[in-house]
């Protein structure tokens, strides 16, 4: 395994736009620091770092070197008075464009059911996979031909709830920041009138449509084999029997919501597809109404793949009602929103993770150009801005400028980091200001190297990117470099795999990370970790 030396000064290894705030984190010292030209080593700017402060999450004493006022385009390093240095970085207004495109194109590399050809995939090709009809668990005579869609993560499972989150993030990004998606991605569908981001999401949405039970309108929870294959198995070599797990309220609520959302976003490009999405959403809503107290999903006894269990479904129902109301304006959906919001409130109305989708319901209602209940609208807006203020307050105290408390370095902590960036940007949109934008940008800086590990958590980007993600195609394809644009799960204080238990015990929460394939609880990748990162970068490209 290649070892990358951690530098004494952490920076965004991609770089910074000229007018943006720019802050380096200097470990263990304050005092003067300087910017030097990366080629010549000559000093071009000098500043004074802030005071030394203890950072609980990283377990380090750090100071911040603010060089916001330096805006000259070029490639540089930061050096401290004691000779510590940063990795090189660029100052340029286009600094995020290629990483943004790669993180979006990563969804093409997650595609199931088709050959990835060299003309689009470069060296990271593989054959068509998982094309056999799936057995409906508990009804061995029934088959579902649910080919296509995206592999969920480092494995080859496909899950409706996490897929819905990923699509929702991308559709929101396309709605709010269309300029970020103007350039073609180089996917098979590139070149048409429809933006490539919508083409890519459609590939997942069409799979979801196949996951709707034709008899009841409910959505099957997931499609997987009974257990995961070995870590170096390529998709086309994963030939075990496929199973769809039973219908769940969680999946059906997510399905109804994202299909209603899709009906809006695709209508200008394909009215027939948009209408099919809305019809599917309405059938799923009818299932939800007919099953108000459905038990939470648990893995069937012989299925050992990712569960994505959820004990309560008020958040998914709330999201579904809000999206259907935003799309249709029908009073029956509006009437359902407030009771569902009240039911979901105990677990929070501003979360954007697969385990709590309520934040998407709140955003859908606040963004809806429909008649609203004034008290509910005011309550939701006030609550979202209060949540953003709470995140901003954590950012101000955190040594690396992000909004995670030490206990929030969990499995997929980088999803939380980027979800928080997304929420901060949405709060700006709701409030009509830019108060939270710089806090969101610090989360982007963290992802690309301004972190205690000193690595870029995105494959292929930065001077010290992760090299060994827990991702079966990257492990088994014989190509030295991993597929580019994949977002690692990041530090996890829970020590939830054997490698982490052996090598990371005793480390600070933000340092509990290992760039090895074996550490799936810190270094796996997932579609719903990439998607909020794409959203956040869309604001800055």
As a three-state string, the secondary structure of 326-342 is HHHCCHHHHHHHHHHHH
Note whether residue 398 is domain-resident. Answer: no
Note whether residue 214 is domain-resident. Answer: yes
Can you give the pLDDT at residue 1? Answer: 44
**β-strand pairing of 243-244 with 134-136:** parallel
Sole residue written with tokens 């810190």: 522
The DSSP element (H or E) to which 25 belongs, if any, is strand 23-27
For 274-308, b where at least 16 C-beta lie within 10 A, e where not — what string?
A: bebbbebbbbbbebbeebeebeebebeeebebbeb
Q: Which residues pair with 76 in a beta bridge?
A: 37, 89
The boundaries of the domain holding residue 305 are 97-372
Phi-psi region of 497 (alpha: psi -120 to 50; beta: other; left: phi over 0): beta
Can you give the pLDDT at residue 68? Answer: 98
CA dist., res. 460 & res. 476, Å (int):
17
Contacts of 301 (CB under 8 A, 6+ apart): none
Spatial strand order of the sheet with 134-136 comes to 139-144, 134-136, 243-244, 222-224, 158-159
Note whether residue 434 is domain-resident. Answer: no
Please give the share of the chain, as a percent, with pLDDT higher than 90: 97
| 3-state per-residue secondary structure call for 28-86 | CCCCEEEEEECCCCCEEEEEECCCCEEECCCCEEEEEEECCCCCCCEEEEEEECCCCEC
- Cα angle 430-432-436, degrees, rounded to a multiple of 5: 80
Can you give the pLDDT at residue 30? Answer: 87
CA dist., res. 385 & res. 176, Å (int):
18
Q: Which of 60, 282, 310, 524 is catalytic?
A: 524
- Residue 87 · residue 7 · CB < 8 Å: yes
Nearest Cα to Cα of residue 361 among 386, 334, 385:
334
Q: Which residues pair with 78 in a beta bridge?
A: 35
- C-alpha to C-alpha distances, 148 to 46, 129, 134, 210, 335, nearest whole angstrom: 54, 9, 12, 9, 36
Can you give the pLDDT at residue 392? Answer: 98
Q: Tell me the whole-structure pTM to 2 decimals.
A: 0.97
CA dist., res. 312 & res. 33, Å (int):
52
**Tens place of pLDDT per residue across the chain (541 aa):** 445 678 999 999 999 999 999 999 999 988 999 999 999 999 999 999 999 999 999 999 999 999 999 999 999 999 999 999 999 999 999 999 999 999 999 999 999 999 999 999 999 999 999 999 999 999 988 999 999 999 999 999 999 999 999 999 999 999 999 999 999 999 999 999 999 999 999 999 999 999 999 999 999 999 999 999 999 999 999 999 999 999 999 999 999 999 999 999 999 999 999 999 999 999 999 999 999 999 999 999 999 999 999 989 999 999 999 999 999 999 999 999 999 999 999 999 999 999 999 999 999 999 999 999 999 999 999 999 999 999 999 999 999 999 999 999 999 999 999 999 999 999 999 999 999 999 999 999 999 999 999 999 999 999 999 999 999 999 999 999 999 999 999 999 999 999 999 999 999 999 999 999 999 999 999 999 999 999 999 999 9
Is residue 271 flagged as an active site residue? no
Can you give the pLDDT at residue 3? Answer: 52
- Alpha carbon 120 to chain centroid, angstroms: 23
Is residue 174 flagged as an active site residue? no
Per-residue pLDDT tens digits for 262-273:
999 999 999 999
Note whether residue 288 is domain-resident. Answer: yes
Strands (E), 67-218: 74-80, 89-91, 134-136, 139-144, 158-159
Can you give the pLDDT at residue 399? Answer: 97
3-state secondary structure of 163: helix
Sole residue written with tokens 């019809």: 279
Note whether residue 492 is domain-resident. Answer: no
DSSP 8-state class, residue 220: B
- Residue 105 · residue 67 · CB < 8 Å: no
| 3-state per-residue secondary structure call for 259-291 | HHHHHHHHCCCCHHHHHHHHHHHHHHHHHHHHC
Question: Dihedrals φ, ψ of 220, to 5°?
Answer: -65, 145
The radius of gyration of the chain from alpha carbons, rounded to an integer in Å, stands at 23
Q: Which of 29, 169, 475, 515 is catalytic?
A: 515
Note whether residue 436 is domain-resident. Answer: no
- Residue 135 · residue 225 · CB < 8 Å: no
CATH at residue 217:
1.50.10.10
Number of domains present in the structure of the chain: 1
Note whether residue 353 is domain-resident. Answer: yes
Sole residue written with tokens 């005011």: 378
Phi-psi region of 465 (alpha: psi -120 to 50; beta: other; left: phi over 0): beta
| 3-state per-residue secondary structure call for 225-260 | CCCCCCCCCCHHHCCCCCEECCECHHHHHHHHHHHH
Nearest Cα to Cα of residue 219 among 253, 247, 259, 250:
247
CA dist., res. 78 & res. 89, Å (int):
9
Question: 331-344 and 314-328 are packed helices; what angle lies between their axes, rounded to 10 degrees?
Answer: 150
Note whether residue 347 is domain-resident. Answer: yes
Per-residue pLDDT tens digits for 125-164:
999 999 999 999 999 889 999 999 999 999 999 999 999 9
């Amino acid at each position: 395994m290649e070892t990358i030396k951690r530098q004494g000064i952490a920076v965004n290894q991609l770089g910074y736009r000229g007018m943006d705030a720019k802050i380096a984190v200097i470990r263990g010292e304050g005092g003067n620091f300087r910017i030097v030209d990366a080629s010549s080593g000559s000093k071009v700017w000098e500043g004074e770092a802030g005071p030394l402060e203890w950072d609980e999450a990283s377990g380090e004493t750090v100071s911040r070197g603010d060089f916001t006022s330096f805006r000259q385009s070029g490639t540089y390093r930061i050096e401290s008075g004691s000779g510590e240095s940063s990795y090189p970085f660029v100052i340029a207004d286009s600094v995020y464009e290629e990483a943004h495109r790669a993180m979006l194109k990563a969804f093409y590399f997650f595609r199931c059911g088709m050959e990835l050809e060299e003309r689009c995939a470069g060296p990271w090709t593989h054959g068509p996979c998982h094309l056999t009809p799936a057995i409906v668990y508990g009804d061995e005579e029934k088959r579902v031909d649910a080919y296509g869609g995206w592999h969920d993560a480092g494995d080859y499972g496909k899950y409706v709830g996490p897929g819905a989150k990923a699509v929702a993030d991308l559709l929101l990004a396309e709605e709010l920041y269309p300029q970020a998606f103007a350039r073609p991605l180089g996917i098979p569908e590139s070149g048409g009138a429809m933006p490539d981001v919508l083409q890519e999401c459609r590939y997942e949405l069409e799979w979801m449509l196949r996951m709707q039970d034709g008899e009841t309108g409910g959505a099957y929870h997931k499609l997987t084999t009974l257990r995961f294959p070995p870590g170096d198995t390529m998709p086309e070599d994963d030939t075990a029997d496929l199973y769809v797990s039973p219908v769940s309220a969680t999946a059906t609520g997510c399905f109804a919501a994202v299909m209603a959302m899709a009906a809006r976003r695709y209508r200008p490009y394909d009215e027939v597809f948009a209408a099919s999405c809305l019809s599917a959403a309405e059938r799923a809503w009818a299932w939800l109404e007919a099953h108000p107290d459905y038990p939470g999903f648990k893995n069937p006894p012989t299925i050992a793949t990712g569960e994505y269990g959820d004990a309560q479904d008020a958040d998914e129902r709330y999201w579904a009602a809000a999206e259907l109301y935003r799309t249709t304006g029908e009073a029956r959906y509006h009437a359902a929103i407030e009771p569902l919001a009240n039911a979901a409130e105990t677990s929070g109305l501003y979360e954007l993770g697969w385990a709590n989708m309520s934040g998407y319901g709140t955003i859908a209602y606040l963004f809806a150009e429909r008649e609203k209940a004034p008290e509910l609208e005011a309550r939701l807006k006030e609550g979202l801005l209060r949540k953003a203020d709470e995140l901003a307050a954590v950012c101000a105290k955190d040594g690396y400028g992000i909004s995670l408390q030490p206990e929030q370095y969990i499995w997929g902590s980088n999803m939380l980091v980027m979800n928080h960036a997304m929420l901060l940007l949405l709060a700006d949109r709701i409030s009509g200001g830019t108060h939270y934008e710089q806090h969101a940008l610090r989360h982007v800086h963290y992802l690309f190297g301004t972190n205690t590990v000193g690595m870029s958590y995105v494959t292929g980007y930065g001077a010290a990117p992760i090299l060994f993600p827990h991702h079966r195609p990257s492990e088994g394809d014989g190509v030295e470099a991993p597929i580019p644009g994949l977002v690692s799960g990041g530090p996890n204080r829970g020590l939830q795999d054997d490698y982490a238990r052996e090598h990371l015990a005793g480390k600070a929460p933000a340092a509990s990370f290992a760039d090895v394939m074996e550490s799936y609880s810190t270094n796996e990748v997932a579609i719903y970790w990439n998607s909020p990162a794409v959203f956040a970068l869309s604001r800055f490209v």
